[in-house]
């Protein structure tokens, strides 16, 4: 399993919002690059970067500069997203050094365009399925689509994706634990690597997700609050890949 720390960007700074809502920040750092260096020093092999300004429809020069700095400096593989709407956006990030580009809203707003994007960059686009309850969330989580998350994931499954990212918006940034029922449903819907975000609060949550067949966990507040050491999580779940004991799930 991959342990993937996240860096969310707002105005060129690294932030952590609750449920992605502006004004709900619980963490802020003026140095996204310093965070990247910290995560890499603790063993991160992948990092999840999101341009919140572009996701909210407010692209900023500060975020563009920060992303360019992160991609040019990283030794870890970077997956980056937020407001990606067309092939030019994808190409720009890949040319800058991204390992994968995360796409969400366009999956639902323009399906033919999304399929063209994936066909143009096979194995380099991650389909992000963000949801609250049984409804998909779009446009920086400010809009809603009537498709169920597992159905949205299933219709993407035939495409040559890099991975599928599922985020439970109702739990994101709240440390409320994971919904293993929905995770299992999503796992059964896709053959691609599945990465999970939202609500993860402790190593036991990660162990539960591993038992569900998840390929990676995207961690934010759990790390920023110091609830667990990234180094310890990488050692336990990624480097050794030890089999889960029953006690891990209790």
pLDDT of 133-146, one tens digit each? 888 988 776 778 88
Least confident of 22-26, 131-135, 165-169, 215-219: 22-26
Share of the chain above pLDDT 70, in %: 92
Which residue, among 81, 87, 90, 95, has the nearest Cα to 113 in the 3D structure? 87
Q: Residue 191 pLDDT > 70, yes or no?
A: yes
Domains along the chain with CATH numbers: 2-249 (3.20.20.70)
Q: Band the pLDDT of 19: cuts 50, 70, 90.
A: low
Report the mean per-residue pLDDT for the chain: 92
Q: Residue 219 pLDDT > 60, yes or no?
A: yes
Question: Active site includes 130?
Answer: yes
From residue 92, give the alpha-carbon distance in Å to each of 25, 75, 79, 124, 169. 29, 19, 13, 13, 28
Please tell me the predicted confidence (pLDDT) of residue 206: 98
Please tell me the predicted confidence (pLDDT) of residue 244: 39
Please tell me the predicted confidence (pLDDT) of residue 24: 59
pLDDT of 85-110, one tens digit each? 999 999 999 999 999 999 999 999 99
Question: Looking at 8, 51, 53, 168, which residue is catalytic?
Answer: 8
In terms of pLDDT, which residue wins out, 24 or 91? 91
Question: Active site includes 8?
Answer: yes
Question: Looking at 51, 53, 89, 130, which residue is catalytic?
Answer: 130
What are the b/e assignments for 181-200, b being 16+ CB within 10 Å?
Answer: ebbebbbebbebebbbbbbb
Q: Phi, psi (5° rounding) for residue 204?
A: -65, -35
From residue 164, give the alpha-carbon distance in Å to each of 3, 119, 187. 15, 16, 10
Please tell me the predicted confidence (pLDDT) of residue 22: 67
Mean pLDDT of 6-23: 86
């Amino acid at each position: 399993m991959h342990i993937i720390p996240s860096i969310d960007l707002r105005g060129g700074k690294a932030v952590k919002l609750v449920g992605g809502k502006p004004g709900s920040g619980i963490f802020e750092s003026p140095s996204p690059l310093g965070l990247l260096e910290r995560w890499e020093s603790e063993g991160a092999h992948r990092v999840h970067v999101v341009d919140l300004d572009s996701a909210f429809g407010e692209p900023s020069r500060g975020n563009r500069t920060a992303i360019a700095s992160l991609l040019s400096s990283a030794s870890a593989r970077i997956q980056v997203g937020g407001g990606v709407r067309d092939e030019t956006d994808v190409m720009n990030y890949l040319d800058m050094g991204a390992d994968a580009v995360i796409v969400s809203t366009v999956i639902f707003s323009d399906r033919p365009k999304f399929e063209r994007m994936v066909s143009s960059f096979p194995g380099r686009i991650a389909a992000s399925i963000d949801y609250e309850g049984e409804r998909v969330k779009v446009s920086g989580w400010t809009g809603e689509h009537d498709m169920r998350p597992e159905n949205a994931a299933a219709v993407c499954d035939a495409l040559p994706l890099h991975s599928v990212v599922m985020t439970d918006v109702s739990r994101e940034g709240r440390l409320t634990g994971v919904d293993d029922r929905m995770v299992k449903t999503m796992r059964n819907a896709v053959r691609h690597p599945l990465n999970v975000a939202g609500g993860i609060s402790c190593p036991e949550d990660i162990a539960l997700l591993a038992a569900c067949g998840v390929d990676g966990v995207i961690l934010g507040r759990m790390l920023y609050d110091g609830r667990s050491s990234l180094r310890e999580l990488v050692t336990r779940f990624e480097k050794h890949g030890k089999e889960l004991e029953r006690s891990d799930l209790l």
